[in-house]
Structure 1
Amino acid sequence: MKVSILTVVYNGAATIRSCIDSVLKQDYSDIEYIIVDGNSTDGTQEIVTSYGDKVAQFISERDSGIYDAMNKAIQLATGEVIGILNADDFYAYPSVISEVVKTMQSGDFQCVYGDLEFVDGVDATKVTRKWVSGEYRKGSFINGWMPPHPTFFVKKEVYKNNGTFRLDLGTAADYELMLRFIHKFQVRIGYLPKVLVKMRVGGVSTSTLKNRLAANRNDLKAWKTNNLTPRFYTLWLKPLRKILQFI
């Protein structure tokens, strides 16, 4: 089973090496690694090209944001399974992909997800939060649940049948995609209860109340665009669940 790992990046010179290295250190033999760059100007392109043919495909051109770049990368992918690893993130250990494939095959799953650790932006050995996903139950999204997107591996057929990322939802684009795949279309999904990805702290979607309100509006739009109706508490439980990640 061929696995395509996709990384999108823009001016990520500070972290792109550890991201790439974590992919190249994987013990799974059939990996296609694709990097889509948004025409970086900080040396990112030179770092990526220094890896030569270890990166199967590399394109660098202007895009309309991270999700546009992800959609480009999905179109380039030739693997049966697709995983997306952000340029600030890295796989937690060398057998992540092997274990994801084993889990996917064991249950004939169309998607597999796991847990994620947030680490300090400077000292990646320092864990600041841990996102333990837990088993998905039908209706979990109603209670504010979602899996961490960097741990979300999906068969390409799911993208072909159910679409890619919407570009009109801002930071909620990954939430909408998983809501659509899992809650609306009920793809067969499996849980690998291990930390698969480590994510450097950062991001803007929940950094202020103003950003949180904007994120809630986009989350609500994610439901409405799929002709789904959340409960009155759904979109507030979603950020409140993050409190448990600090315990």
Structure 2
Amino acid sequence: MKDINKSDNNLNHKTTSISIITVCYNSEATIERTIKSVLLQDYTPIEYIIIDGNSKDGTLEIIKKYRKNITKVISEPDKGIYDAMNKGIELASGEIIGILNSDDIYTSDTIISEIVGQFVKRDIQLLYGNITFFKNNPNKAIRTWVTKPYYEGFFEHGEVAPHPSLFVKKEVYNKIGTYQSDFKITSDYEFMLRALRINNYKSYHFNKFIVNMQMGGESTKSIKNIMQGNKEITISWKINGISPPIYFWPLRIYKKIKQYFS
């Protein structure tokens, strides 16, 4: 295995700083592979922040094994996943911020270097890419989510970028705010709608697989969660002072089904 302290990428001496945030709660079964996925990146320095929701299992013991390589660790009760993300964003000092969930991993040890390189090259505020889904084996994809570059009508056509692949300049969060902490399922959707559709921040679709994501996210865990997510999407449009077109929901459902079988 590669030495987590070793650095050999020619972007390491760039002045661009990046923060990666992992939020977790009772994640002892998966948190170690997520931590390793960040610490093995060849881009340095990475400010790595873990926000734990006061786990009751062995999560904190696993985090302690890598504590000297983790910049900041907070363990305390929170109001949900988006509240925890907001805590991490507030603590982050990097120019670019990415969020890696506690059961997901990056697709390669060079992906952060590549992402930072795109930010530097293209002078963008947001970057997102594609993701794969796995069930038990992170190296065996069972589904893919290949998204599109942002365009006028992107959200109206039922499109959305996969949040695990999203990287955002800290200045964007500072100017337009972070995640709606009272949302339970789709605050990431509302944030992207606000950043791209309302505020027109410059984005880039990095057409590579960035994250391997474990199946079983909150938005699709149950019929109740799907209904809650749809309700929050409707609210997302409303609080931003816009309304989706009449074809929005049929298109969104069609694309979700298509994605499922991809």
TM-score band w.r.t. shorter chain: over 0.9
CA distance in 1, matches of 2:227, 2:79: 23
Runs of 4 or more consecutive aligned structure 1 residues displaced over 3 Å after TM superposition? 207-211
Superposition TM-score, scaled by structure 2 size: 0.91
Change over 3 Å in CA distance of 1:208–1:58 after alignment to 2: closer
Retained in 2: the 8 A contact 1:169–1:222? no
Retained in 2: the 8 A contact 1:219–1:235? no
Instruction: Describe how 1:138-217 pairs up with structure 2 within 5 A.
Output: 138-217=152-231
The match for 2:143 among 117, 126, 129 is: 129
CA distance in 1, matches of 2:95, 2:251: 34
Say if 2:81 is the partner of 1:59: no
Match of 1:82 in 2: 97
Retained in 2: the 8 A contact 1:22–1:91? yes
Retained in 2: the 8 A contact 1:36–1:69? yes
Change over 3 Å in CA distance of 1:61–1:208 after alignment to 2: closer
Q: CA deviation at 1:52?
A: 2.2
CA distance in 2, matches of 1:129, 1:241: 14
Q: CA deviation at 1:19?
A: 0.4
Q: CA deviation at 1:208?
A: 4.1
Name the count of aligned residue pairs.
246
Deviations 1:85-105 (Å, cap 9, x if unpaired)?
000110000111111111111
CA distance in 2, matches of 1:235, 1:64: 29
CA distance in 2, matches of 1:180, 1:5: 22
Match of 2:37 in 1: 22
CA distance in 2, matches of 1:199, 1:108: 28
CA distance in 1, matches of 2:82, 2:31: 18
Retained in 2: the 8 A contact 1:184–1:226? yes
User: Any idea what SS the aligned residue of 2:142 has?
Assistant: strand
Retained in 1: the 8 A contact 2:17–2:94? yes
CA distance in 2, matches of 1:4, 1:200: 22
User: Is there any run of 5+ residues in structure 2 with no aligned partner, and where?
Assistant: 1-15
Give the CA RMSD over aligned residues.
Answer: 1.2
Deviations 1:164-213 (Å, cap 9, x if unpaired)?
00022220101000110011101000111000000010023234444323
Give the aligned residue type for 1:240: Y
CA distance in 1, matches of 2:50, 2:222: 31
Query: Identity over the aligned pairs, expressed in percent?
Result: 46
The match for 2:52 among 27, 34, 37 is: 37
User: Is there any run of 5+ residues in structure 1 with no aligned partner, and where?
Assistant: none
Q: CA deviation at 1:139?
A: 1.9
Superposition TM-score, scaled by structure 1 size: 0.96
Give the aligned residue type for 2:31: I
CA distance in 2, matches of 1:236, 1:225: 22
User: Any idea what SS the aligned residue of 2:105 has?
Assistant: strand
Q: CA deviation at 1:156?
A: 0.1
Retained in 2: the 8 A contact 1:8–1:36? yes
Retained in 1: the 8 A contact 2:131–2:211? yes
Instruction: Describe how 1:112-127 pairs up with structure 2 within 5 A.
Output: 112-120=127-135, 122-127=136-141
Deviations 1:52-98 (Å, cap 9, x if unpaired)?
22000001000001000000000000000000000011000011111
Give the aligned residue type for 2:93: T
Match of 2:5 in 1: none
Match of 1:7 in 2: 22
